[in-house]
Chain A
Amino acid sequence: MTAPALDLRAVARAYGGGRTLFGARPVVRAVDGVTLALPQGRTLGIVGESGSGKSTLGRLALGLETPDAGHVTAFGAPMPAPGTPAWRALRRRMQMVFQDPLGALDRRIPVADQVAEPLAIHGIGAPAERRARALDALAAVGLSAAQGGRYPHELSGGQRQRVVIARALITDPDVLVCDEPVSALDVSIQAQVVNLLIDLKAARGLAMVFISHDLRVVRQIADRVAVMYLGRIVEEGAAEAVLRDPRHPYTRALVSAAPAPGRHRRERVILSGEPPNPAARPAGCAFHPRCPVAVARCRSEAPALEPAPDGHATACHRVTPAAERAA
């Protein structure tokens, strides 16, 4: 069997601690023991609560940050330390589309030059060839050469987002981590970009981690989906199973709240209570304060992520245990 493109074992990353002028800074356990594998050529969707650690997980997966605990392997080899030559060589094969396009672009450089930049960094091609490839990559996401000549602040939000996607694709990577790559695009361009990514996956075996709040887009592109809540995975399975038959109460709330035109009144599962505070993780199941079906056990005992025989895993005491489901 070929090694997975990415393999994360019990990775954890915390921020904060120490003191400021205003008092002690809380420790935020952004990612708290996540185990995941991304097989080559497959797409893993990551959805979940805002602040649940999705972007942090994406940075850990590409070695842009080092986990406090656990380890990451890429193509079967341990992730090299950031900044080392081995890491730089790997980076050419693994690209990230960052969540905030304006933050990811340099304000002083025309965008076509920024799209070509990874080629220059990795010493690929002569300048003329780099430029031609940059224009091709821009065209693939629906941007013209004239738009390529502009500075980031001279483009609309969705145009900037596409620049970042073009830059990530130009080195012809084997792995792409996309953090909210299509949220700023109108649905037609979104369809174009999603189709482009699906084609790259089919044609070249591109493996992807696709972080998004848009469950419908995740449904179209992902083979498997992991649902995060407060730094942990609470549900994981085939995209179709997780989004059609969500088992964890948080996933059920997510799926029921997804808005669509024509569905005039959402039959939302209303989540009671406050959104969670990552600096003060509730005891037991972190979701229990907002959970409509929580029982006493949920307040004291944290549920483990348990796979059912069908490969669909859930971390919930109230989900029928695997044995009973099979019976």
Chain B
Amino acid sequence: MAAPLVRIEGLTVAFDGAPAVRGVDLAVHPGEAVGIVGESGSGKSVTWLAALRLLPAKAAVAGRVLLDGRDLLALPLPEVEAVRGGRIGMIFQDPASALNPVLRIRRQLGEVLARHRGLSGAAIAAEARRLLDLVGIPDAARRLDSYPHEMSGGQNQRVMIAMAIAGQPDLLVADEPTTALDVTIQAQILDLLAALRRELGMALVLISHDLGVVAETCDRVAVMYAGRVVEMGPAEPLFDAPRHPYTRGLLDALPTLDAAERLVAIPGVVPDPRAMPPGCAFAPRCAHAAPVCLGAEPALRATLPGRWSACARPDLDLAAPPPRPPATPAPAAEAVA
């Protein structure tokens, strides 16, 4: 296989002594689409913010992030800034933080085009319009004059996508890029990303809670829990036959369109990062936990060719959903009453 475009090695991030990312190894090959799914707060966004040096100074970051053999974590900041928006584009999870509320869309897109594509004047205007057309914003010429607050949530999200692909990156890191979009526009954006991958050989890291979108878009998937990758493998077999109980739990929590029935959340809560349980971080919530799970934290190991899982019980049969946990009484209703 070709050398990876980006290789993350042993990445750790802590805030005020509380670990948020606890050793992530991940490679993204040229043109490949890698999906990142997992628990809210598991470090999906922080992993890539750290890789691009976008975290506040108080974040303690260690490990290496290699791009063309250069470690982004060790480079002088101006060189990393040239990579951002250039070789690596990023769509941030929060439109509010990525768009400047007091600048028109025209200015914001124009700045990216001037900086990373060296365009000026009329070329900027034409390219900015083309990009808004590409992401399906109707009436692009007029919309360039809008401020972010004059656009709907989904329209702002598409502006951010336009800004992220404006620099024609080799890698696009897209953090929840389609959550505020209805499924027909979502399908259009996913087709656009697929076309960019085909035509420009762009690689894609897609961080998303939408397992359907990830299954449809990505070649490989990494599942994160409590700051680590707990399962990794090709998308189709991973969702068809997960090897880690956390992945199984996610799939079992999916609602269906066919019937309204009570959803199955994974019981329990995520461990406090300052007081991690001994052994596997998922063990306290796992229906399959056994004494072996409480020893050392299981490493990510190859199970089948191309498949990796960090489970101390690699031979578990996870084909069928585990027995349903007893219906949790609704403490919530009392809590807010």
Contact = CB atoms under 8 A, between A and B. Distances in A.
Contacts of B96: 100, 102-103
Interface string A218-237: 01110000000000000000
14 contacts: A55-B153, A103-B96, A140-B331, A157-B93, A170-B336, A196-B330, A213-B180, A213-B186, A216-B257, A219-B260, A257-B186, A258-B183, A261-B251, A278-B138
Contacts of A62: none
A186 B197 CA distance: 26
Interface stretch (B80-88, B212-220, B305-313): B212-220
A26 B144 CA distance: 12
Contact of B263 (A20, A25, A195, A264): A195
B220 to A, nearest CB: 14
A70 interface: no
B253 interface: yes
Interface stretch (B3-11, B37-45, B316-324): B37-45
B68 interface: no
Given A139-B335, A187-B211, A220-B263, A213 B330 contact: no
Nearest to B262: A195
Contacts of B79: none
Interface in A238-256: 239-240, 243-244, 253-255
A138 to B, nearest CB: 9
Contacts of A214: 255
Contact of A158 (B41, B259, B263): B41
B332 interface: yes
A275 interface: yes
A306 interface: no
A180 interface: yes
Given A49-B185, A213-B181, A15 B40 contact: no
Interface residues of B, number: 81
A258 B212 contact: yes
Task: Count chain B CB atoms within 10 A of each CB in A25, A50, A191, A257 and give the residue with the most.
Answer: A50
Contacts of B258: 244
Given A102-B97, A187-B211, A194-B255, A199 B180 contact: no
A296 B137 CA distance: 27
B153 A189 contact: no
A73 B272 CA distance: 46
Interface string A7-31: 0000000011000111101100000
A275 to B, nearest CB: 5
Task: Count chain A CB atoms within 10 A of each CB in B150, B236, B260 and give the residue with the most.
Answer: B260
Nearest to A221: B260
A194 B181 CA distance: 20
A102 B96 CA distance: 7
Contacts of B270: 142
B95 to A, nearest CB: 7
Contact of A184 (B151, B179, B211, B336): B179
A261 B239 contact: yes
Given A21-B145, A185-B40, A195-B262, 6 more contacts: A26-B139, A136-B336, A187-B250, A213-B186, A216-B256, A280-B139
Interface in A125-173: 133, 136-137, 139-142, 144, 146, 153-159, 162, 169-170, 172
Interface string B89-133: 000011111000000001000000000000000000000000000
Nearest to A254: B183
B265 A216 contact: no
Task: Count chain A CB atoms within 10 A of each CB in B176, B258, B332 and give the residue with the most.
Answer: B332
A188 interface: yes
B176 A184 contact: yes
Contacts of B152: 50-51, 55
Interface stretch (A78-86, A266-274, A311-319): A266-274
Nearest to B336: A169
A136 B262 contact: no
A275 B136 contact: yes
A50 B212 contact: no
Nearest to B41: A156
Interface string A175-200: 00001100111111111101110111
